[in-house]
Amino acid sequence: MNNKRLDRYVKAFKMGKEEAFDTIYDETRTVVYYTILGILKDEELSEDIMQDTYIKMINQLDKYQFDAGFRAWMKTIARNLAINEFNRRKKEYSVDATVDEYLFEATEENSEDRYYLNKLLKTLPDDEREIVVRHAMYEETHKSIANDMNMPLGTVLWKYQKALKTLKRKDGAR
């Protein structure tokens, strides 16, 4: 289904025609589900977040701009909710470099360095640590990080530089 036709169903749903939701759901569920699954890597949790995505869509429908593309808008909502859930769960689990060697690729030669780096990173505020890890370790672009974290690109760049200066200063005190 093309975007203009999908937008007609969205308009109908906005005007109270609840049966239009079924078509909207059928046309967007695949992209929404796989966007979430790609981030969370958990099918059951992805289904839960998918339900949250449609609830948020219904609550935020008055903010949808019809020239933006409904599928893209839904994908953005899904991605943001999945990233929020990922970050919430990430905070619940502390990473132990000795247990999660696959994550840090620890070897005897660099395990002390990895431990020290992890210790240094924990001294940063959560948002700065996330930016540094995502950019330096996962090679994400600053623009992608800014979009995912709902921050202006300039703020992400500034926080990244600030975090690097902090890490260098703390490493120099070693």
Tell me the pLDDT tens digit for each residue of 95-107.
444 444 444 444 4
Q: Structural domain of residue 56, as residue ranges? A: 3-91
Last-in-domain residue among 26, 60, 91: 91
- We report the CATH number of the domain holding residue 18 as 1.10.1740.10
- Residues 7-20: tens digit of each pLDDT: 999 999 999 899 99
Q: How confident is the model at residue 122 (pLDDT cuts 50, 70, 90)?
A: confident
Residue that finishes a domain, picked among 25, 60, 91: 91
pLDDT tens column, 19-78: 999 999 999 999 999 999 988 888 899 999 999 999 999 999 988 888 778 998 999 999
- Same domain as 70, residue 43: yes
Give the pLDDT score at 174.
56
Write down which residue in 29, 59, 91 finishes a domain: 91
Contact predicate 81/49, CB 8 Å: yes
Output the six-digit token pair for 113: 């360095």
Q: What is the pLDDT of residue 20?
A: 92
83 Cβ neighbours under 8 A, 6+ residues apart? 39, 148, 149
Residue 92's pLDDT band (boundaries 50, 70, 90)? low
pLDDT of residue 52: 93
CATH assignment of the domain containing 124: 1.10.10.10
Residue 134's pLDDT band, with cuts at 50, 70 and 90, is confident
| Distance (Å, whole) CA 70 – CA 77 | 11
Residues 109 and 79 in one domain: no
Q: Round to whole Å and give the CA distance between 22 and 25.
A: 5
pLDDT of residue 116: 74
pLDDT at 141: 83
Structural domains counted in the chain: 2
